[in-house]
Amino acid sequence: MENNTTIVSEGSLDRVDEVFRSLWDDRAPLVIADSNTWKAAGAQVFKTLKESFGDRCSRFIFPDNPKVYADYDNVTTVRQVLEEHPESIAVAVGSGTINDLVKRASFEVGRGYMVVPTACSMDGYTAKGASISRDGFKQTMDCPVPKAMVADPLVFRHAPAAMSASGYGDLAAKVPAGADWLIADRLGIEPIHDEAWHLAQDGLKEVLADARLLVDPGSGYIDRVFLKLVDLGQAMAVYKDTRPASGADHLMSHVWEMEHLFYQGIEPSHGFKVSIGTLVSTALMTEFLKVDIVQGKEKVARFPGLAWKDRLAQVKALLSSTPTPPPVFETTVKTYKVKYLEPPALKARQKIILEKWNDIQGALADQLIPFDTLKGLLGVAGCPTEPGHIGLSGQRLELGIRKALLIRNRYTILDFLYEAGLFEDLVTQVVYGGEYFSI
């Protein structure tokens, strides 16, 4: 973590005061948690820091109701708490939401922070940037990595099984996310960064292959998943962007998060939404592998593209198909326009696509885990494997794929299929064809 302190070992929570003093000797710790993460590790962390710092040590615990979300209102709450404690440095005790809120708020007041993970649930602990909703639009806000991470495997080994499964789902997403990057690399859009690539991909499939061990806390497998997620966070820090760990899979998840997807009264976790996005991305890539270069030339020839005004009409109709707040509508259109290609530019891109067709197919075939194998691994790990498992109908799944194409200036399989004239046919086949999902 860019010369920062990372400790992952049993009993490490007893050392949080030592780590804190080594970085901020003259400052005071401010523990920030929610009620669940307070019980999991916050109380122990606070006790250790209190014994060392006395009354200078303070705490802020989010209430149970309403549920804490990673939105900008809660960033503001944390920032205000930090401003009320000008000499304090935040110690975030939690997982994705608490970490992102504290990371961004600390950045806004010009301070570093420490994180104490409570679950093996996602890859953002050591990552640069925080995934925050602002005005209803999910975005990665700029902020540096934590100055220190102190993680005790004893804590996340005993986290709820669903949280560990969520971490597995987030980890599995790195396979098709890597394939997305390979496509962008082959087309000359975003070259592979060697160090970030190896941090993200080395050993990834080997860890994923042992999914059956996730249900046995005594196996130590959760520790392996956690350490690989840490690698992913470091890859993002090295690259200074989420590209090494995020592709079309995460874009679909962001759409469903912005739409406040709930199932049976509960919002599916980030990792569970990403699990479905991972399967969709893999299915789309699998369908592309079936299309030979001759068919590719035919598809490209039939798709000259649209002028922006005509494409904009399609985008507006798509965004209007479900209630979309004006700020989200406007930001989506503005974001998509940056990467949209007018017909002359599209023609030039299509020429490169056809030149690289076989090369891209070879790269994807080597990178992907076969769909049925991946679906089986996710199921064994306790992740959702059907859209209906997180409350998605076929129509809502289709809309999510279409909207995911629009919300980030990041080239993925969705952009590739659109520019190659394959998007409509392959999305329909994946969602409704019956080969991949029971819808």
Domains of the chain as residue ranges with CATH: 5-159 (3.40.50.1970), 162-432 (1.20.1090.10)
> Which residues have CB under 8 Å from 190's CB, separation 6+?
181, 184, 243, 411
Alpha carbon distance, N-terminus to C-terminus of the chain:
43
| Burial per residue of 147-168, b for 16 or more beta-carbon CB atoms within 10 angstroms, e otherwise | bbbbbbbebbbebeebbbbbbb
Q: How many residues can be counted in the chain?
A: 439
CA-based nearest residue to 32, from 155, 137, 115, 146: 115
Determine the pLDDT at residue 65.
Answer: 84
Residue 202, helix vs strand vs coil: coil
CA-based nearest residue to 285, from 104, 420, 192: 420
DSSP type of residue 147: S
Extended beta strands in 205-286, E state: none
Determine the pLDDT at residue 1.
Answer: 45
> Which residues have CB under 8 Å from 18's CB, separation 6+?
none
- Those residues of the chain that have pLDDT short of 50 are 1
| HSE value, Cβ hemisphere, 13 Å, CA-based, for 118 | 24
| Burial per residue of 18-49, b for 16 or more beta-carbon CB atoms within 10 angstroms, e otherwise | ebbeeebeebbbbbbbbebbbebbbbbbbebb
Task: Name the H helices within 72-173.
Answer: 72-84, 96-108, 153-157, 161-172
Tell me how far apart the alpha carbons of residues 113 and 99 are, in angstroms, rounded to a whole number. 10
DSSP type of residue 191: -
The packing angle between helices 221-239 and 194-201, to 10°, is 170
Tell me how far apart the alpha carbons of residues 265 and 61 are, in angstroms, rounded to a whole number. 24
Tell me how far apart the alpha carbons of residues 108 and 76 are, in angstroms, rounded to a whole number. 9
The Cβ of residue 202 has, within 10 Å, a number of other Cβ atoms equal to 12
Determine the pLDDT at residue 149.
Answer: 95
DSSP type of residue 145: P
Determine the pLDDT at residue 3.
Answer: 52
Rounded to 5 degrees, φ, ψ at 36 are -70, -45
Element (H, E) at 92: strand 88-94
Rounded to 5 degrees, φ, ψ at 263 are -140, 125
The Cβ of residue 176 has, within 10 Å, a number of other Cβ atoms equal to 28
Long-range contacts of 141-144 (CB under 8 A, 24+ apart): 141/104, 142/107, 143/103, 143/104, 143/106, 143/107, 144/2, 144/103, 144/107, 144/112
The Cβ of residue 429 has, within 10 Å, a number of other Cβ atoms equal to 17
> Which residues have CB under 8 Å from 48's CB, separation 6+?
13, 14, 16, 17
pTM assigned to the model: 0.93
Tell me how far apart the alpha carbons of residues 432 and 426 are, in angstroms, rounded to a whole number. 10
235 within 8 A of 365, measured Cβ to Cβ:
no
